[in-house]
Structure 1
């Protein structure tokens, strides 16, 4: 197996059990040699809020206490280096700025239970990190005892294959099984009756799409198996987000990997994408992969 390049991981922690279980999941991976961890705690103490929102200010500055607690045995000794940083500011913006400034490869955050994700508004801390991070983001929702099963959603795009390559960079445990899943969306048949030749042509197109999708899945499966990992593939038809969530509910993986198109500006507010739906509704940890643009 070839050696993967080292990773620079940023773990954002507020000292809560949710943030600690996020780090525990990361430490299930056999990180490449020379990988480093940046532990970031963001304090809102003293940060001014608009008039009428003063009650949201923290009653005391817990940032130093959080980092001291982490230093007392939470972080694994497998990292080549661990950097501790305490910053003041609004959490989402501060975390995003730190991720960009330090050119991290992965941001890791914990969610306070499944309902914390589903009920959050667009402006929540977690949602903004997932939407605006320029690198992959790992959202952990519940404790993970072991990485036994990972599902990765692919759609035939180069980004989907890059997501699989990033997963392999994390060096999965030997016993982890990976399911490569792809969903063929329905063709736009419409409601009106169509000519027989038109219907036949659509069926032909559907067959071609299915063939290409299966080739794409097989390509990713073989790439994963080449790294001495267990892998299989599945292709289904239907609404992509809905079918992927049904698969997740059926096989109950420990982690799901989905790609994001790296939308910018106002387009990031468009909801209903596959990655957004999976982050909202999957009961397990979700790794949202986004291609990084290096200067």
Structure 2
């Protein structure tokens, strides 16, 4: 998708295995007003130890292709053999789609998205924006855009501004301020111990209050800029300033607002960084009740 032209065709890679979540992914794509000329490539992966799945999966992919074609998209299907995450990532590298769509949980999963599961691996290692769809599918009438002031969230905003959303969809730009912690708490929690870190300044209540007000004003200005940018593209947008742990607050707010989608920027992980498990985007994919779109920064 050309970020400068919202009407340019989308090239989409849809991972399909016939599970409830991949069917939800298909339903979500069919709901979106895809630009004319958009192309959807379906990929199914057969476990070499289960060759009997090939006929069932092939038939399901043919039906999915027909549904997409009925909505005006060009659709094709291909079957591969091997590890699902590896094959999806290989197809993404070869085809370079503008968007990867994958169900949050496959037929063989029993505990949702497990650490290192297919959806998690694709979202972390793919170089393209990745939409992880969770069943049950529901129309995307409201979505949350996580804003933190980083280049990654700016990239997510730019991508969303030209993404084909259903008519009437409302966007809520969300920023989360961490709770203020007294210096002695920080020292106590510091992994090397308080004797290693330099002396921390102590704040009088009035100073602490002024600092908090300044931080909130800066965060609100950030949100106001995001809302203005979204409104300028014709999207209905508003903002919400939250306090607490970023992932926990976003997930709770999404649940309270009955959001159908959370959009978040991410720098991604290379194989040498795979020990970095605490990112907000990973927690959102892992624990959110709704679908999550992770937008990768260029080169990230």
Is the shorter-chain TM-score for this pair beyond 0.5, marking a shared fold?
yes
Shift of residue 140, structure 1, vs aligned partner:
1.1
Distance 1:117 1:236 in 2: 33
Alignment-derived partner of residue 280 in structure 1: 286
Distance 1:245 1:158 in 2: 22
SS in 2 for 1:14: coil
SS in 1 for 2:115: coil
Alignment-derived partner of residue 25 in structure 1: 28
Alignment-derived partner of residue 64 in structure 1: 58
- Using the size of structure 1 for normalisation, the TM-score is 0.84
Structure 1, residues 53-104: CA drift from partner, whole Å, max 9, x if none? xxxx215141433333334x33243445323222222110000010011111
Aligned pairs (5 A) from 1:204-243: 204-243=210-249
Shift of residue 161, structure 1, vs aligned partner:
2.1
Structure 1, residues 14-39: CA drift from partner, whole Å, max 9, x if none? 12332121021122221233321111
Distance 1:120 1:232 in 2: 30
Is residue 40 of structure 1 aligned with residue 43 of structure 2?
A: yes
Is residue 257 of structure 1 aligned with residue 263 of structure 2?
A: yes
Alignment-derived partner of residue 156 in structure 1: 149
Shift of residue 6, structure 1, vs aligned partner:
2.5
Is residue 13 of structure 1 aligned with residue 19 of structure 2?
A: no
Is residue 138 of structure 1 aligned with residue 131 of structure 2?
A: yes
Alignment-derived partner of residue 53 in structure 1: none
Distance 1:153 1:229 in 2: 16
The total of aligned residue pairs comes to 280
Structure 1, residues 143-193: CA drift from partner, whole Å, max 9, x if none? 334221111111012221221221232221221111111001234533269
Distance 1:195 1:135 in 2: 43
Structure 1, residues 110-133: CA drift from partner, whole Å, max 9, x if none? 1349xx596543332222112211
SS in 1 for 2:274: helix
| Unaligned residue ranges in structure 1 (runs of 5+) | 46-56
| CA RMSD in angstroms, aligned pairs only | 2.7
| Unaligned residue ranges in structure 2 (runs of 5+) | 188-199
SS in 1 for 2:183: coil
Alignment-derived partner of residue 74 in structure 1: 67
- Using the size of structure 2 for normalisation, the TM-score is 0.83
Distance 1:201 1:267 in 2: 39
Q: Which of 71, 77, 90 in structure 2 is aligned with 1:84?
A: 77
Alignment-derived partner of residue 189 in structure 1: 182
Comparing 212-221 with 186-195, which one deviates more in the overlay? 186-195
Paired residues of 1:29 and 1:171 also in contact (CA < 8 A): yes
Distance 1:5 1:208 in 2: 41
Paired residues of 2:99 and 2:129 also in contact (CA < 8 A): yes
